[in-house]
Chain A
Amino acid sequence: MSNGDVAGGSAQDRDREQLLAETFVVLADTLVDDYDVVDLLHQLVDACVNLLGVTAAGLLLDDQRGNLAVVASSNEETRLLEVLQLQSDAGPCLDCVRSGVAVSVDDLEADQNRWPVFAEAAMSAGFRSVAAVPLRLRSETIGALNMFHAAPHPVPLNDRRLAQALADVATIGILQRRSSHRSALMAEQLQHALNSRVVIEQAKGVLAERNGVDMDAAFTALRRYARNHNRKLSELAMEVVRGEIDPTSVQSGRRVT
């Protein structure tokens, strides 16, 4: 579906309701288990793209050092990562994290002055509209879910609510991760999620180089292997980086012990 504001009662609507129900069942299932937080956040940005029909989505967290760090994105294109990362300086995500409220621009071309550097980068990456919803727990904002559309696109109210619901699941997922040592503090959980993402990036580099594939294919293989062999994504990634598991078997999906 190309955008969210279709007329009620259509087959498309029913498909979407079905997809929505399935998505939240999967997420709820994940949250009661001992899950991998980065994997969960990727499920969320994928769900965001599928349910809201946006072109791309990313999730940024406050790294507690004064920057926003990307922890999940719907694709691994450098252009998207750069547009996401730029927002440590200025952009809708930074405004969203600082204010704790959703920020959106229906048409970046008509509204370039707000964040000139971000707007230019986003447009040259093929995006015309952007929205960010906060990851909030009580008074604290820990990050933002960022959505991009290739066309000028006012976000319908229902889609905004749905995006906020996905962001809320992300917040719970990050802060309620069942800690193996103690009921950890917010900062501990946030830093854990951030470092997990770094391990996964390093593993993607190893897989991409060893197997001659791009970052997207490397990540897809990593996730698929983790799922098929019931492994946590970041633990598997750690083994890849440390050379404790054969990168070619991860790419091919074969289990090698």
Chain B
Amino acid sequence: MDDSAAEHDSVPRRICLLCVRMLSISGAGISMVTKTGNRGVVCATDDVSARIEDLQFTLGEGPCVDAAQFGAPVMVPDLRTPDDIVIERWPAFIEGAGAVGVRAVFAFPLRIGAINVGVLDVYRSDPGPLRDGQLRAALLAADAAALALLHTDTASDDLFSDDIGARVAYQLQVHQATGIVQVQLGVPTEEAFLTLRARAFALGRPLVDVATDVVARRLRFSVEDE
């Protein structure tokens, strides 16, 4: 294992490399949506992945663009036999991606409800769908990438890596509490979510417990405390 080399890679890049290894895909890339709505490529495992990201920025069309817009994965197991609407929507992307040997492409939005962080794109030079276990791994990778990108401003992106599997991601109280804290602190949703997690970490308590206290009004956040 190239652990020593991997340590120098950013977390998003490590997630992309892991995707390549686990999903039987050819390459992966992550693009980010900034707070001002601009977008940029965070990382790509190879030239073709980088080209896929670039194409979509230049053209303003493609699976990544649609995934970000609709808030759901967009999966095209074979670009040469896509359904008609895809051809209609992405004529230039299909041509450009085909020219660099892309046959299958899968885009996963990095989202937590209204929090929109970016998109994970993976591609394969052979056609075919992601199998069950691969889909699961890709969704988990997207969850991890969303958190990694959210934490890029903080000192250590490993700090919170333990408490939030997908299990926590769909605990409804966490999302209710995020909305509450957003109003209490007058901050954007992503900052409210991070503050909530930081508090849980500082208290050494599970995120969902702290969230439940916030929803039950047993715990309030105030601007002075943060």
- List chain A positions with a Cβ less than 8 A from chain B: 63-67, 69-70, 78, 81, 85, 88, 179-185, 187-189, 191-192, 194-199, 201-210, 215, 237-238, 241-242, 247
Contact = CB atoms under 8 A, between A and B. Distances in A.
B179 A203 contact: yes
Given A199-B114, A201-B113, A203-B179, A67 B215 contact: no
Label chain B's interface by main secondary structure. helix
Contacts of A201: 113, 172, 175-176, 178-179
A181 B85 contact: yes
Given A187-B135, A201-B179, A241-B189, 18 more contacts: A64-B139, A65-B139, A67-B167, A85-B170, A179-B70, A181-B89, A184-B74, A188-B74, A194-B170, A195-B71, A198-B112, A198-B114, A203-B114, A204-B176, A209-B182, A210-B183, A241-B182, A247-B183
B225 interface: no
Interface residues of B, number: 41
Interface string B176-192: 11111111100001000
Contacts of A187: 73, 75, 135
A195 B72 contact: yes
B166 A67 contact: yes
B73 to A, nearest CB: 5
Q: Which of A65, A85, A197 has the most CB of B within 10 A?
A: A65
A9 B175 CA distance: 47
Contact of B86 (A182, A192, A208, A241): A182
A65 B109 CA distance: 15
Label chain A's interface by main secondary structure. helix
Nearest to A201: B175
A184 to B, nearest CB: 7
Interface in B54-105: 66, 70-75, 83, 85-86, 89
A102 B111 CA distance: 33
A181 B74 contact: yes
Contacts of B177: 205
Nearest to A208: B180
Nearest to A247: B183
Given A181-B89, A196-B71, A204-B176, A63 B135 contact: no
Contacts of A182: 74, 83, 85-86, 89
Nearest to A88: B167
Nearest to B178: A202
Contacts of A202: 113-114, 175-176, 178-179, 182, 189
A183 B84 CA distance: 9
Contacts of A88: 167
B136 interface: yes
Please list the 8 inter-chain residue pairs (A to B) with the smallest Cβ-Cβ separation, ordered nearest first: A205-B179, A198-B113, A201-B175, A69-B170, A192-B72, A65-B166, A241-B114, A209-B183
B165 to A, nearest CB: 8
Contact of A192 (B71, B75, B136): B71
B172 A85 contact: yes
